[in-house]
Amino acid sequence: MYELDRELVHKSLGAAPGFLMGSVWVMYHRLETVVYAQAVALLGVFLLFLAVSRYGIAFLYEKTVIDFEAAAKFIKYNIIANGIFWSLTIMVSLVELRFRDANSNITTVALLIGFVLSSMMTLSNNLRLAYFFQSVMIAPAGFYLFIIAITDNNDMALSASVILLIAFFYMLNQNRIAHTQVVNRIQYALDLEFTNKLLQESQSQLIEEKAKLQHSIRLAAIGEISGEIAHEINNPLALVLGYIELASDQLTTGNSTKELVVEKLNKATKAISRITKIIKGLRQYSRGTLNEPSSVVLMSEIIDDVMDFCSEKFNHHSIQLDTNFENDCQINCRPVEISQVVLNIISNAIDELVKLPTEQRRIGISTEIGPTTVKLLVVNSGPKIDPAIKSRLFEPFFSTKKVGIGTGLGLSISKNIVEAHSGRLYYDDSGVLTTFVVELPVFA
């Protein structure tokens, strides 16, 4: 109902200029009447007021002085009043002219049919108003002309009444057809809006499921390196215990100076800070990122966080790490997601390097900072990727690992993450070694 009323309001404003010009013409032309000329002119004034008031009510609605329900109700009453006053105007001129002045009456009847035709599309979405408007406009004039044709034996009046009768039924039928078209169009629009809403909900669910999948892969990566992380935490814990025991013994025996005890405690504090940093990074990396806001961070901070996870894994597999960082830069990103991308690439590189002899295991991490972008290059000394599978590297579920090892989603999700940050993730086969490049915009 709201959509139909809105359609009525818009169309009534579109029809207002025609009624406005017609009312001005009636005021000055007076439909060739003499006896009732002043009455016709006065009716023209009322008609002009009705046409202008449509703009006034639209203005009040735009300024939120009245609500849409009140505006629609006013327009409906305006249409009813408009039909009644136009009917009176036509009837007054016909009563005086008695259909004897051919030119004047042809003009009057043409004006009558013209306004009824123009109202057809305006009122096509409201059949009750359409039937009322056309009936009150045509029926009195047609009946009056028919009476004149019989009583005065006026052939012109008979012809005009027949034309009005044909026009009446034709326009009623056309209104019914137009009404069906309007309703179908509005229904289509509502169905389309409902479908768009369903699509938006589906898209939101897809984004949520995608975030859950990314989270699951992060947890899987943590599981893969959990042994190394435990070892990474265990080593400094042993150091802390040793330093505290030494400081305790020195204080108990009194065989040490204050400076030596403080030194041992400082070393224990550094080891504890190391453990705290690892645990903090682990907690941050394992949390969800669905609602994580973007933040401006240093590229070096992200790399350092990833190295905290991987350092023990490098040691465990005897992999040499080479780094070459240019001047640091800031990027606007979701840090956990970018850390996941870097960790996925490094983990894949480690899985390939363990197949090589110990002395050949090397990973290089470097950055290249340009005017608008920064490139993070992860290079490993493993064999270059087979050209036959290069085009499938970023396909979901594609993996060269054995069944049960990995999901085949790491690079696919990493590519989506980087592209969501307006960047690129690609395999660079221009060099001798296997190289993956993460390219991100620099925060200006």
- Domain boundaries of the chain, sorted by first residue: 2-197, 225-287, 293-444
Second CATH level (architecture) for the domain 293-444: 2-Layer Sandwich (3.30)
Residue 154 Ramachandran class (φ > 0 left, ψ -120 to 50 alpha, else beta)? beta
Confidence of residue 286 (pLDDT cuts 50, 70, 90): low
Confidence of residue 219 (pLDDT cuts 50, 70, 90): low
Of residues 24 and 118, the one with the higher pLDDT is 24
342 has a pLDDT exceeding 90: no
Question: What is the structure's pLDDT at 6?
Answer: 80
pLDDT digits (tens, 9 = 90+) for 68-78: 889 889 999 99
291 has a pLDDT exceeding 90: no
Question: What is the structure's pLDDT at 295?
Answer: 84
The pLDDT > 70 percentage for the chain reads 76
Question: What is the structure's pLDDT at 404?
Answer: 46
132 has a pLDDT exceeding 90: no
Question: What is the structure's pLDDT at 45?
Answer: 94
CA distances to 162, 213, 226, 393 from 290, rounded to whole Å, are: 73, 11, 24, 26
pLDDT digits (tens, 9 = 90+) for 382-436: 777 777 777 777 776 566 665 445 555 567 778 888 888 889 998 888 877 888 9
- Give the mean pLDDT of 270-276: 68
Question: What is the structure's pLDDT at 193?
Answer: 79
81 has a pLDDT exceeding 90: yes
Confidence of residue 346 (pLDDT cuts 50, 70, 90): confident
Of residues 73 and 308, the one with the higher pLDDT is 73
pLDDT digits (tens, 9 = 90+) for 16-63: 888 898 899 889 888 878 888 999 999 999 999 999 999 999 889 888
Question: What is the structure's pLDDT at 46?
Answer: 94
Contacts with 265 (C-beta within 8 Å, 6 or more apart), sequence order:
243, 244, 247
Q: What is the mean pLDDT of the chain?
A: 78
pLDDT digits (tens, 9 = 90+) for 141-162: 888 888 888 888 887 788 888 8
User: Which CATH number is associated with domain 225-287?
Assistant: 1.10.287
**Rounded (10°) CA dihedral 232, 378, 340, 334:** 120
Mean pLDDT check: name the lowest of 130-134, 309-313, 326-330, 375-379.
Answer: 309-313
